[in-house]
Amino acid sequence: MNIKTRMSNQDRSDMTRKALVKAARELFIEKGYGEAGTPELVRAAGVTRGALYHHFEDKQALFRAVAENELAEVAKLIERSATTASTTMQALESGTRAYLDAMQASGRAHLLLVEGPAALGVQTMKQLNSDSAAHTLRDGLAAAMAAGEIPQLPLDALTAILDAAFDRAALEMAQGASRTDIETALSALFRGLAAAK
C-alpha cells in the first residue's frame, strides 16, 4: 500500500491527505496548534511541505480538517449508540453518556475544546459543531420542554450552559477525573432541572 508507483491520482491524494491529517492530529495534540510546526508535521506524515500546501490552503485549514474529522467521528458514535428511550429526559441522559464516551478518544477533548476555539475561533468552532451534530442537545431540551418534563426556559441559554457543562465533563474525564463522580454530578443537574418545575 505504501508503494507510490502505479496509483491513480485519486488514491495518491487520498493517501497523502490522510497521512497529513493523521500526523497533524497527533502533533497538534502533543504540542498544541501554535507550537506544532509544519516541517516536523510533514516529516511525521512522510510527505513534504509541498504536498501539504498543495492539499490545504494553510496550516489553519489543516487543523480544520482534523477538527471536522473528530466531530464527524463523535457524531457517528453518538448516532450509533442511539437507543429508544421512553422519556425525552432518558434520551437526553443516554445521549450525554454517548457524548462523554465519544469524547474519550485520546486527545480529542483537548483538540476540540481547547485548541479548536483558539485556532479557528469560537464562532467557527460553533459552526462546525452545529454542522455536525450538536443540535442533538438543543433538540432534546426543546422536546423535553414541550413534553413538560423540564420547565420552560430560554432554549439558547440553557443549551449553551449545559453544552459547556458536558464539554467540561468530557475534558475532566479525559484528564483522569472519576467518571462516576462526573456522571453523578451531571445526573443531579439533570434531575434537578426536571424537578425544578
Partner DNA sequence: GAATTAAACATACAGGCTGTTTGCATGAAT
Partner DNA sequence: ATTCATGCAAACAGCCTGTATGTTTAATTC
Contacts to its own copies by CB under 8 A:
32-34, 110, 114-115, 117-119, 122, 151, 153-154, 156-158, 160-165, 167-169, 171-172, 175, 177-178, 181-182, 184-186, 188-189, 191-196
Q: Of these partners, its own copies, DNA, none, which one is at the site of residue 64 (CB under 5 to 8 Å by kind)?
A: none
What is the Cα–Cα distance from 197 to 37, expressed in whole angstroms? Answer: 52
* Of residues 15 and 177, the one with the C-beta less far from DNA: 15
Cell triple for 189:
443537574
3 state SS of 71: helix
Sole binder of DNA in the list 1, 3, 50, 196 (CB under 7 A): 50
Q: How far is the CB of 107 from DNA (least distance, A)?
A: 19
Q: Of these partners, its own copies, DNA, none, which one is at the site of residue 133 (CB under 5 to 8 Å by kind)?
A: none
Q: Is 123 in the site for DNA (CB under 7 A)?
A: no
CA dihedral 194, 152, 89, 174 (to 10 degrees): -90
Handedness of CA 119, 122, 127, 133 (dihedral sign): positive
Q: Is 59 in the site for DNA (CB under 7 A)?
A: yes
Name the DSSP class of 105: S
Q: How far is the CB of 177 from DNA (least distance, A)?
A: 31
Q: Quick count: other Cβ atoms within 10 Å of Cβ 99? A: 24
Could you tell me if 141 and 158 are in contact, meaning their C-beta atoms sit under 8 angstroms apart? yes
Q: Of these partners, DNA, its own copies, none, which one is at the site of residue 54 (CB under 5 to 8 Å by kind)?
A: DNA
Sole binder of DNA in the list 16, 132, 136, 159 (CB under 7 A): 16
Instruction: Count, in order, helices (H) and strands (E) of the chain.
Output: 11, 0
Q: Of these partners, its own copies, DNA, none, which one is at the site of residue 5 (CB under 5 to 8 Å by kind)?
A: DNA
What is the Cα–Cα distance from 116 to 126, expressed in whole angstroms? Answer: 10
What is the Cα–Cα distance from 42 to 6, expressed in whole angstroms? Answer: 23
Q: How far is the CB of 31 from DNA (least distance, A)?
A: 10
Which residues sit at the interface with DNA, rule CB under 7 A?
4-10, 12-13, 15-17, 36-40, 47-51, 53-55, 57-60
